[in-house]
Amino acid sequence: MKRHASCILILSLVGLSLQGCQDQPALTESRPGGALAASVASPESTGRYIVVFSSERVPADFGARVAQLGGSIENALDSIGVATVTGLSERGVAELAAGADIRAVEPDPMTSPRDDGEANDGLPAEAVSEAAVAADATASPTTAQFYARQWNLRAVFAPEAWAAGFLGSRDVVVAILDTGIDYANPDLAGLVDLDRSISFVPEDVTRHYPGRLPFSDLFWHGTAVASAVASNASVLAGVNRYVTLLAVKVADSTNTHTVGRIISGIVYAADQGA
């Protein structure tokens, strides 16, 4: 019941995001004080849309209908009756929305968060070694190199929880919907489920580093979030020592993402028991 309520909350937030994308299709202006501002590409320029079906199921002939209008399906989520499509013109969108079995067709623009105080100097000069280092089962979070500076963990009484034996569990699966995870990072090696992790933007990695797994993090944000959840405590301590991390890459190397990919990631994570 608790998990069901959480899923409803997440989908409600996604719904609000869709409404926001519809109301503000143009580029947003930078906010004063270095606050985050979203750079949004017009849906007309990308031809990306989210389709919601009345029956909460994707019709069997939907692919043919979209193709006839000059578009293609990027992803179809039959379990919730949602699909993301690309390549549609405004006229094609209008014709598609007129279908009796379609509840709504909403823009799904490419969105890139921006921070004036944050620079992204491009891709790493070279790929990190693929060798995964086994996690040291005896390591304590307090032995991390920079633990002394991690006042945030002490602020939430993490050391007291660790001392009481609460170090997490590998039976707990935490999905990170973000820019991917650097699974070869010493703090994360052995904690990421490489078999079940996934990328909804695989070309982001394969075009730059063909030998890397498609959910690799070429930005940094997903890796930082993952290490805050759990860490081998080599460099930095995480809240947990033992957790199974699931990389669900929904944003590329420039942190660009779409609501459609986020919805797909949420459904995938839920299906994996995260």
What are the boundaries of each domain within the chain?
A: 39-110, 141-249
pLDDT value at residue 28: 34
Indicate the pLDDT class of residue 244, thresholds 50, 70 and 90: very high
For 171, how many CA atoms within 13 A lie in the half-sphere containing its CB?
0
pLDDT at 274 over 80: yes
Per CATH, the number for 39-110 is 3.30.70.80
**Contact (CB, 8 A) for 203 and 190:** no
Query: pLDDT class for 175, splitting at 50, 70, 90?
Result: very high
- In the structure encoding, which two tokens stand for residue 263, read together? 């919805």
Residue 74 has pLDDT above 70, yes or no: yes
Q: If pLDDT is split at 50, 70 and 90, which confidence band does 138 have?
A: low
Q: Where are the alpha helices (DSSP H) in 147-230?
A: 151-155, 158-163, 203-206, 221-229
Closest CA to 200 of 263, 123, 130, 254: 263
CATH of the domain spanning 141-249, picked from 3.40.50.2300, 3.40.50.200, 3.30.70.980, 3.40.50.20: 3.40.50.200
Cα separations in angstroms, 71 against 53, 62, 96, 163, 235: 17, 11, 11, 57, 47
88-102 pLDDT per residue, tens: 999 999 999 999 999
Helix, coil or strand: residue 270: helix
| Nearest alpha carbon to residue 101 among 81, 84, 86 | 81
SS3 30: coil
In sign, the C-alpha dihedral spanning 139, 141, 143, 146 is positive
Across the range 198-212, mean pLDDT stands at 85
What confidence tens digit (pLDDT) does each residue in 15-61 have?
Answer: 434 344 444 333 333 344 444 444 444 445 568 899 999 988 899 99
The encoded tokens of residue 131 equal 């060798």
The closest alpha carbon to 88, from 114, 104, 67, 119, belongs to: 67
* pLDDT attached to residue 114: 60
Q: Are 74 and 84 in contact (CB under 8 A)?
A: yes
Q: What average pLDDT does the segment 148-175 reach?
A: 92
> Quick one: tokens of 168?
């997490």
Cα(198)–Cα(183) distance, integer angstroms: 12
> What is the per-residue pLDDT for 3?
46
User: Within its chain, how far is the Cα of 178 from the centroid?
Assistant: 3
Residue 46: predicted pLDDT: 64
